[in-house]
Amino acid sequence: MFPSNHQFSSQPRALAVVDSTIQMQVDLNEASFVERDEMQNIGFSQAKSIIESSEKLKDDLQMLGMKIKQHEDSMRLLEAQKNKLDDSILDMQVMLGKHHSSSAPKIENKDHSHLQSEEETIEQILRHEKSAAGILCQLKTRHGTQASHLTLTKDVLGLVATLGKVDDENLSRLFSEYLGVQTMLAIVCKTHEGIKALETYNQDGCLDKTSGLHGLGASIGRPLDGRFLVICLESLRPYAGDFVADDPQRRLDLLKPRLPNGECPPGFLGFAVNMIHVDSSNLFYVTASGDGLRETLFYNLFSRLQVYRTRAEMVLALPCISEGAVSLDGGMIRSPGVFSLGSRGRCEVPKILCNIRCAAKLH
């Protein structure tokens, strides 16, 4: 039998309901996809904006860093130029005699005072009758330039006490006291061969007192007694740095001491090695390696010995003192932690020849 109309009419309505539900679900799904895509697009846009902002900030930071570095480089350059100018001013002050003590004598007859100082130095050396320096001075006094042609002395350049001059007598005595008698009376030879000529030994290895300086001393009635120092220039390790530009004395371009704040210590006057004046006769002498007296002999004797105006200023500069210091009022630091205390008595050390002419000219 065929179904009734009632049965047929009810099914289509049921099917319609199902279809509308499906359609609604499809529409909802599509809306959800659209909304999700829109949110993703917004998220992508925001992420892109953040990335672009980050990149811009990064570029800005790099640019700012470069500007800061440029300013820092400029500050370092200006600071280096300032320090160089300060050093130049200090060098000029030292060269112009600002380090002279207030007690320096005022002498009008410049040449006469210079000759007196040289004679005084020789006289002090001759007082050491039985010393090698005294014997050589006696030989030079008696025979003059002929003495330099002898096999014994032809390689001898001189004595420490006569190879350097200082523009101030007070400094001269300070440097002499710092070095000591034995060093001041040391003989300076050009080569090691010259040392061999000063002293010989027999086959048994014993000192031959009939030759060399011992034989010379005995022949002039001044027998050599005890040890003596001899300095061989070619065996010294020379200063390896630069020299002060356009300086006829070829002073060493040493770095000035600096306090933690970068300033030069108050009262610092210079380095002892640069305060030595080398005579023109010895200024152009060089070793086989091309090194002069200042960078060999005097650098090895004084190294970076600093000179200060007063003892108090020297003590305040202790953190900057690496290799000793002296002050014009008699203070002395031989090395870090080693002080020479007490007052200066009568100095019996032959002072380094004092060129009073320069001091007189500046007072």
Instruction: Tell me the residue type at 161.
Output: A
Q: What is the tens place of the pLDDT at every residue in 332-345?
A: 998 877 777 777 66
Q: Please, what's the largest Cα pairwise distance for the chain? A: 170
Identify the bridge partners of residue 232 per DSSP, sorted by sequence position. 189
| pLDDT for the residue numbered 361 | 32
Confidence tier at 326 by pLDDT (50, 70, 90):
very high
| Mean pLDDT across 187-197 | 89
Residue 295: what pLDDT? 94
**Which residues are CB-contacts of 200 (< 8 A; sequence separation ≥ 6)?**
207, 208, 211, 212
Mean pLDDT of the chain: 77
- Residue 153 pLDDT class (50, 70, 90 cuts): confident
Q: Judge whether 330 and 340 are in contact, CB under 8 Å.
A: no
| C-alpha radius of gyration, the chain, whole number | 43
> Does residue 29 or residue 212 have the better pLDDT?
212
CA distances from 139 to 116, 132, 152, 153 (A): 20, 11, 11, 10
83-106 pLDDT tens trace: 667 666 666 655 554 444 444 333
Would you give the distance in Å from CA 89 to the centre of its chain?
17
Q: Which of 183-187, 271-275, 287-291, 340-344 has the lowest mean pLDDT?
A: 340-344
- Rounded mean pLDDT, 50-60: 83
Q: Read off the DSSP letter of residue 207.
A: B
Rounded mean pLDDT of 45-65? 82
Beta-sheet strands, E only, within the chain: 156-159, 165-166, 187-189, 230-232, 268-271, 276-277, 306-308, 325-327, 332-335, 338-340, 353-354
Least confident residue range of 20-24, 29-33, 221-225:
20-24
In this prediction, residue 197 carries a pLDDT of 85
Least confident of 19-33, 103-117, 126-140, 167-181: 103-117
Give dist(CA 342, CA 319) in Å, integer: 22
Question: Does 277 or 43 have the greater pLDDT score?
Answer: 277
DSSP 211-276: SHHHHHHHHTT----S---EEEGGGS----S-B-TT-TT--B-PPPP--TTSPPPTTEEEEHHHHE
> Which of 84-88, 120-124, 263-267 has the least mean pLDDT?
84-88
pLDDT for 313 = 94
d(CA 168, CA 360): 9
- The reported pLDDT for the residue numbered 103 is 41
Q: Copy the structure tokens of residue 15.
A: 């099917």
pLDDT of residue 32: 65
DSSP 150: S
Burial status of residue 354 (CB atoms within 10 A of its CB: 0-12, 13-18, 19 or more)? buried
Quote the pLDDT of residue 94: 53
Burial of 44 (0-12, 13-18, 19+ CB in 10 A): exposed
**Which has the closest alpha carbon to 269: 195, 353, 331, 179?**
331
Question: Which letter does DSSP use for residue 148 in this model?
Answer: G
| pLDDT at residue 122, rounded to an integer | 79
CA distances to 57, 121, 133, 159 from 115, in Å = 78, 10, 20, 18
The residue with greater pLDDT, 189 or 61, is 189
Q: Report pLDDT digits (tens) over 11-20.
A: 455 444 445 5
- At 243, phi and psi to the nearest 5? -115, 155
Among 146, 160, 167, residue whose Cα is nearest residue 301: 160
Between 27-36, 89-98, 248-257, the lowest mean confidence (pLDDT) is in 89-98
Q: Is the pTM of this model over 0.75?
A: no
Do the beta carbons of residue 342 and residue 321 sit within 8 Å? no
Average pLDDT over residues 267-272: 93
Lowest mean pLDDT among 9-13, 121-125, 219-223, 231-235: 9-13
Tokens found for residue 343: 């007052």
Q: What is the pLDDT of residue 232?
A: 93
Give every strand in the sheet of 332-335, ordered side by side: 268-271, 306-308, 325-327, 332-335, 338-340
